[in-house]
């Protein structure tokens, strides 16, 4: 049986950078706190924990003093920087530059909307770490919408600036643009609306989707590897499933079932932007060993 690993799968540059920063710090003194999982992949998180990384949440941060805390690629709200300053915590900031840029854009939009009695709307997942960091740029006033049902939170008669969580789908974002525009138009007496949007979906994710479709269509069976908490993992898995119904979502080699490979000739292994290459290689070795 032929097993092929997608050369384009694996960590995006934001995650690669955060892990490199963590490894560099851990090599110095084997003690580093990280706000949340550094990547939505338990296998990789466990590897770094063995090197000395301790995962904390924002409540834990309040009780820490005189230590180093890593900010992962998702970024953090201004509150985190304030608490760290008060508690003499050295922040090792590995926020992804794309996320930082988006935070700045949203902050500028927030100032503009404040002067116009408008609203900042973020297409994303409520409570997601990146979204919390984005909402923090608006003093917590941004409206987070994930689907049409959340629309009741928006006042369509007032100005709107729309942004997206970086890992949301491009198609989903433009569907929201269309829906907001329709609702604003229907409520406008003079046909004028004040609505601007910024497509802030990350191309590391959106480009990955079409690459994965091409890849997945070439194999009898596709093994998609990703942590179950990864937002972009779920989106990319469905991209593969759309073109290849024999696609299986696994997080570790222990979830592989030999029965998936009965009577087939080719297997493609791919993953999300949070999937380590070493894990895909491990899974490839297991498939070759069990189903030669």
Q: List, by residue number, the catalytic residues.
A: 130
Closest approach of ligand SF4 to the CB of residue 8, in Å = 14
Q: Is 35 in the site for ligand SF4 (CB under 6 A)?
A: no
Q: Is 205 in the site for ligand SF4 (CB under 6 A)?
A: yes
- 112: burial class by Cβ within 10 Å (0-12, 13-18, 19+)? middle
Decide whether 238 or 286 has the Cβ nearer to ligand SF4: 238
Task: Look at residue 54 and give its three-state secondary structure.
Answer: strand
Q: Under 8 Å CB-to-CB from 144, ≥6 apart: which residues?
A: 121, 122, 124, 125, 126, 131, 135, 150
Instruction: Identify the H or E element spanning 92.
Output: strand 90-93
d(CA 167, CA 205): 6
Binding mask 150-179 for ligand SF4 (x = CB under 6 A): ----------------xx------------
Q: Is 236 in the site for ligand SF4 (CB under 6 A)?
A: no
Q: Is 129 in the site for ligand SF4 (CB under 6 A)?
A: no
Q: Is 204 in the site for ligand SF4 (CB under 6 A)?
A: yes
From the list 103-111, 150-158, 200-208, 211-219, the region that binds ligand SF4 by CB under 6 A is: 200-208
Decide whether 99 or 122 has the Cβ nearer to ligand SF4: 99
The C-alpha angle 193, 199, 204, rounded to 5 degrees, equals 175
Among 120, 202, 225, 283, binds ligand SF4 (CB under 6 A): 202
Decide whether 15 or 235 has the Cβ nearer to ligand SF4: 15
Instruction: State which of positions 3-32 bind ligand SF4 (CB under 6 A).
Output: 12-15
Closest approach of ligand SF4 to the CB of residue 115, in Å = 29
Number of amino acids touching ligand SF4 (CB under 6 A): 14
Decide whether 69 or 73 has the Cβ nearer to ligand SF4: 73
Pairing of strands 53-56, 247-250: unpaired
Is the separation of the CB atoms in 36 and 57 below 8 Å?
Answer: yes
Q: Phi/psi at 53 (nearest 5 deg)?
A: -80, 135
d(CA 119, CA 121): 6
d(CA 235, CA 206): 10
Instruction: State which of positions 72-111 bind ligand SF4 (CB under 6 A).
Output: 73, 96, 98-99
Q: Which residues bind ligand SF4 (CB under 6 A)?
A: 12-15, 73, 96, 98-99, 166-167, 202, 204-205, 273
């Amino acid at each position: 049986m032929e097993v092929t690993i997608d050369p384009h799968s694996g960590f995006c540059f934001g995650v690669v950078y955060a892990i490199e920063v963590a490894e560099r710090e851990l090599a110095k003194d084997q003690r580093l706190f990280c706000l949340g999982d550094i990547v939505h992949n338990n296998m990789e998180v466990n590897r770094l924990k063995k090197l000395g990384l301790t995962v904390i949440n924002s409540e834990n941060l309040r009780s820490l003093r005189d230590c180093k805390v890593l900010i992962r690629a998702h970024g953090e709200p201004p509150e985190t920087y304030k608490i760290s300053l008060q508690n003499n915590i050295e922040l090792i900031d590995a926020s992804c530059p794309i996320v930082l840029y988006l935070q700045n854009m949203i902050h500028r939009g927030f100032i503009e909307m404040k002067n116009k009695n408008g609203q900042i709307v973020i297409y994303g997942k409520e409570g997601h770490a990146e979204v919390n960091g984005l909402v923090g740029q608006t003093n917590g006033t941004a409206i987070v919408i994930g689907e049409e049902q959340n629309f009741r939170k928006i006042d369509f008669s007032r100005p709107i600036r729309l942004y997206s969580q970086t890992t949301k789908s491009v198609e989903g974002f433009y569907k929201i643009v269309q829906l907001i525009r329709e609702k604003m138009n229907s409520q406008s007496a003079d046909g004028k609306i004040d609505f601007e949007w910024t497509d802030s979906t990350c191309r590391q994710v959106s480009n990955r989707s079409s690459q994965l479709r091409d890849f997945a269509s070439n194999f009898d069976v596709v093994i998609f590897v990703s942590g179950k908490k990864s937002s972009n993992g779920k989106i990319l898995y469905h991209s593969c499933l759309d073109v290849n119904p024999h696609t299986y979502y696994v997080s570790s080699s222990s979830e592989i079932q030999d029965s998936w490979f009965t009577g087939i000739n080719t297997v493609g292994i791919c993953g999300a932007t949070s999937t380590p290459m070493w894990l895909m290689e491990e899974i490839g070795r297991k498939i070759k060993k069990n189903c030669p």
